[in-house]
Structure 1
Amino acid sequence: MKALWQNYRKNKLAQGIFLLLYIGITSLSLYLAQKSVTAFLLLLASLLLLYFTSFKNVTKWLIAGVVLVILLPFTASNGDGYQSYMEVATLVGIYISMALGLNVVVGMAGLLDLGFIAFFAVGAYSYGIFATAQANHFMPFGHYPLSGESFWIFILIGCFVAALFGILLGIPVLRVKGDYLAIVTLGFGEIIRIIFNNLDRPVNITNGAMGLPSVTPPSLFGIDFLYPSQFYYIVLIILVFTIFTVRRFEHSKIGRSWKAVRENEIAAQAMGVPLVKTKLMAFAIGASFSGMMGVVFAAKQAFVDPTSFTLLESITILVMVILGGMGSVPGVILGAAVMTILNLQVLTEITNWLNQLSTSGAISIPDALSPSKMQRMIFGLLLILFALYRPQGLLPAKNRKYDQKLLQKGSKEANGDSLREQSPIENAQEV
């Protein structure tokens, strides 16, 4: 069996045929059975199978693009469950982007942040205040609410404002580590939520606990974005940008600096890594992705209030990072997708199925024991199981491997060239 698996891993043609058949069958199943959550989940699982193939990265991106941009929306659009499927897919994209931002702070830089949802709130309120009539209470100029075309500018504004708040958080906690850092960031997240909850007096800026209703939907070329199927493409574009940016940072100089700080701050500083700059960049970059998705969330929900940004949400995002694998971009994507789908669809469908059995008299289950109400206990059990048997997560982080002989050969050639360049100078000095 092992030999057969090894042959399959080496045979790209067999992988391509199997993947093509799998995507075709699951797409056809979703197209014919519109209310089948299983078919929807199996089609999404094709992306995980694609990750384990031996194709080049460009090929993987192209196939994933075809599945997400064409196949998934088209095959799900043939029935009443279309918008519900797109709602789940949109929220999966939002949570993946936030989890990738937190992975920069926690997984790469090793800075435990329990108040990450605060940056999401900052982005949401940045758009919500000016996309409703709320800004009329304190802005001496301008006409509000702003039009839906301003949404595209506010994505960038939410990004920069959240990054600024990330820097403001990072400055006072630069010398704090470990448990103390977790306590400080937890307090920061709660402070932001309480400020938004009470910032309705003496000047009414956020409308307090009443929230901001009737947020102006985005519009482009006269088309209003009102449905989850429309927001799906917005989230998909931002998510692709987030993944590309995080991957570039991961293998850049700043990414290696984050990992050095994570492993040992003293050793990293001794090697010339600037601790202040490195930590502040981790907070700012991680927060910026959350701020962008906060703007999208406010526009999609058309309502913003402080109850959406509790400590429990921060812990949920942290669980996504831990479950997928800290420091691993593919792992965090998988962890966020599993947690979101489990929460929004799987547990809900199991609860509905058990309720139908209870109604028909086939089985009697107390309402308090329904899976949707035991969500936190199920997540807790998952964490315990993974801590015991898979502590590195679903897809652990992998470091790039380099050929030592080639590196030594390159260093010798570089040293030889430098010696040849320096020899005339040395001769001149001797003369």
Structure 2
Amino acid sequence: MRKLVDLFSQNKKAQLLLFIVYVAVTSLSLILAQQSVVAFLLLLFSILLLYFLKLNTKAKWIIGLLIVAVLIPFSASQGQAYESYMDVATLVGIYCAMALGLNIVVGFAGLLDLGFIAFFAVGAYTYGIFASAQASKFLHFGHFPLSGESFWIFILIGGIVAAIFGILLGIPVLRVKGDYLAIVTLGFGEIIRIIFNNLDHPINITNGSMGIASIAPPKIFGIVIANASQFYYVALAILLVVIYIVTRLEHSKIGRAWKAIRDNEIAGQAMGIPLVKTKLTAFAIGASFSGMMGVVFAAKQTYVDATSFTLLESTTVLVMVLLGGMGSVPGVILGAAVVTILNLQVLTEVSNWLNQLNTNGVISVPDALSPAKMQRFIFGLLLILFALYRPKGLIPAKNQKYDANKLKKSTTKSMYVEPQVSNDKKASGGSEI
């Protein structure tokens, strides 16, 4: 049996053929069932299977894009639950981008941030204020609300404003680390939430606890983006950009500097890494991704208030990073998807099913142990099990591997390169000292 498994693991064609069969069966079952959470989740599971296939990276990206951009929306659109499926998938994309931003701060730079949801709130309020009539209450010039075409500009504006807030957070916390850093960032997140919740006097900027309603939906080429199935592609496009940027940063000079100060600040500083600049860069870039998705969230919900940006939300995003694997880009994406789907779909469906059985008299569940009240308990229990049996995350971070022979050859060549002499010195017969 082990020989067959080894042969299958080495045979790329057999893996690809079995994967195609699996995707075809799950997509067909979703089309025929029309409203099946199990079929939808099994189709999403194909993305994880694709990651473990022994194919080249380019082929994986092409197949993965076809699945998430074409096959999943088409299969889900054949039933009545189309919009609910796409709503979950859109929130998965939003939280994946946020978790990747937090992964820069926590996973790469090793800076524990418990107030990361504050940057999400900054991006959401930035768009919500100007895309509604709220801005006209304290600005006496211009025409508000802004049109839906401004949404695309506000994605960048929200990221920039959140990055500025990230720098403002980073400046006072540079002298603390560990538990003290967690306390300071926790306080920052709560301060931002309380300010937004009370910023209705003396100048009414955020409308206080009443929140901001009637936020203008995005528009592109005159088409209003109002449904979850349309926002799905917006979130997917931004997520792909975030994945590309984070992947490039991970193996860049700044990415190696982040990992150096994460492992040992003193050693990194001794090697010439500017500690202040490196930490501020991590806070700013991570916050910008959260701010961008905050703009998408505000446009999708068409309503923003401070209750969406509590400490529980910050903890949830941090759990996504820890569960997936700190410093691992695919792991963080998987962790964000698992936590979001568990919270929004799996545990909700299980609770509804048990409630239905209780109503029909099949089983008798006391009110104190009702599934609706035990949902957080079940979620916490699952996280404990993951922490016990997968302490490094679902997909642990892997260091980039280098070919030692190639490094030796490149080092040897660089040692024997003849120094460049300028044409002026050659003409004058001078030599370089």
Residue 418 of structure 1 and its aligned partner are, at CA, apart by 4.8
* Number of residue equivalences: 429
What letter corresponds to residue 267 of structure 1 in structure 2? A
Q: Is the 8 A contact 1:106 1:326 kept in 2?
A: yes
Any idea what SS the aligned residue of 1:22 has? helix
User: 355-364 vs 37-46, which deviates more?
Assistant: 355-364
Residue 15 of structure 1 and its aligned partner are, at CA, apart by 1.1
Question: Residue 217 of structure 1 aligns with which residue?
Answer: 217
- 1:191, 1:405 → 2: CA distance? 53
- 1:22, 1:275 → 2: CA distance? 49
User: 108-117 vs 8-17, which deviates more?
Assistant: 8-17
Residue 88 of structure 1 and its aligned partner are, at CA, apart by 0.4
What letter corresponds to residue 9 of structure 2 in structure 1? R
User: 408-417 vs 61-70, which deviates more?
Assistant: 408-417
TM-score by length of 2: 0.96
For the pair 1:4 / 2:4, whether they are aligned, the reply is yes
For the pair 1:303 / 2:307, whether they are aligned, the reply is no
Question: Residue 247 of structure 2 aligns with which residue?
Answer: 247
Residue 5 of structure 1 and its aligned partner are, at CA, apart by 2.5
Question: Residue 83 of structure 2 aligns with which residue?
Answer: 83
What letter corresponds to residue 280 of structure 1 in structure 2? L
User: 226-235 vs 370-379, which deviates more?
Assistant: 370-379
Question: Residue 186 of structure 2 aligns with which residue?
Answer: 186
- 2:235, 2:136 → 1: CA distance? 29
What letter corresponds to residue 139 of structure 1 in structure 2? L
What letter corresponds to residue 44 of structure 2 in structure 1? L
Question: Residue 147 of structure 2 aligns with which residue?
Answer: 147
Distance 1:361 1:371, change over 3 A: closer
Question: Residue 401 of structure 1 aligns with which residue?
Answer: 401
- 1:387, 1:354 → 2: CA distance? 27
Question: Residue 17 of structure 2 aligns with which residue?
Answer: 17
What letter corresponds to residue 330 of structure 1 in structure 2? P
Distance 1:137 1:303, change over 3 A: same
Unaligned runs of 5+ in 2: none
- 1:374, 1:259 → 2: CA distance? 39
- 2:432, 2:240 → 1: CA distance? 59
Residue 420 of structure 1 and its aligned partner are, at CA, apart by 10
Question: Residue 114 of structure 1 aligns with which residue?
Answer: 114
Distance 1:420 1:281, change over 3 A: closer
What letter corresponds to residue 131 of structure 2 in structure 1? A
For the pair 1:390 / 2:390, whether they are aligned, the reply is yes
Question: Residue 104 of structure 1 aligns with which residue?
Answer: 104
- 2:378, 2:24 → 1: CA distance? 33
Question: Residue 138 of structure 1 aligns with which residue?
Answer: 138
Q: Is the 8 A contact 1:335 1:394 kept in 2?
A: yes
Any idea what SS the aligned residue of 2:416 has? helix
What letter corresponds to residue 264 of structure 1 in structure 2? N
Give the aligned CA root-mean-square deviation in angstroms: 1.9
- 1:384, 1:125 → 2: CA distance? 34
User: 411-420 vs 191-200, which deviates more?
Assistant: 411-420
- 1:418, 1:374 → 2: CA distance? 72
Any idea what SS the aligned residue of 1:114 has? coil
Distance 1:99 1:313, change over 3 A: same
- 1:165, 1:430 → 2: CA distance? 49
Question: Residue 273 of structure 2 aligns with which residue?
Answer: 273
Q: Is the 8 A contact 1:347 1:372 kept in 2?
A: no
Any idea what SS the aligned residue of 2:144 has? coil
Listed as ranges, the matches of 1:24-423 within 5 Å are 24-418=24-418
Q: Is the 8 A contact 1:158 1:292 kept in 2?
A: yes
Q: Is the 8 A contact 2:106 2:326 kept in 1?
A: yes
Q: Deviations over 1:48-86 (max 9, x none)?
A: 000001111111111111111111111111121000000
Distance 1:348 1:418, change over 3 A: same
Residue 123 of structure 1 and its aligned partner are, at CA, apart by 0.2
TM-score by length of 1: 0.96
Q: Is the 8 A contact 2:199 2:208 kept in 1?
A: yes
Any idea what SS the aligned residue of 2:277 has? helix
What letter corresponds to residue 127 of structure 1 in structure 2? Y
Q: Deviations over 1:270-308 (max 9, x none)?
A: 111111111001000000110010001001001000000
User: 367-376 vs 25-34, which deviates more?
Assistant: 367-376
Q: Deviations over 1:125-180 (max 9, x none)?
A: 00000111110111121011111111111111001000110011001111111000
Unaligned runs of 5+ in 1: none
Any idea what SS the aligned residue of 1:142 has? coil
- 1:352, 1:200 → 2: CA distance? 39
Q: Is the 8 A contact 1:120 1:291 kept in 2?
A: yes
Any idea what SS the aligned residue of 2:229 has? helix
Residue 375 of structure 1 and its aligned partner are, at CA, apart by 3.0
Q: Is the 8 A contact 2:27 2:71 kept in 1?
A: yes
- 2:253, 2:220 → 1: CA distance? 38
- 2:361, 2:387 → 1: CA distance? 39
Q: Is the 8 A contact 1:162 1:290 kept in 2?
A: yes
User: 122-131 vs 382-391, which deviates more?
Assistant: 382-391
Q: Is the 8 A contact 1:47 1:64 kept in 2?
A: yes
Q: Is the 8 A contact 2:343 2:379 kept in 1?
A: no
Q: Is the 8 A contact 2:320 2:336 kept in 1?
A: yes
Distance 1:285 1:359, change over 3 A: same
Q: Is the 8 A contact 2:354 2:371 kept in 1?
A: no
Q: Deviations over 1:289-334 (max 9, x none)?
A: 1001000100100100000000010000000100000000000000
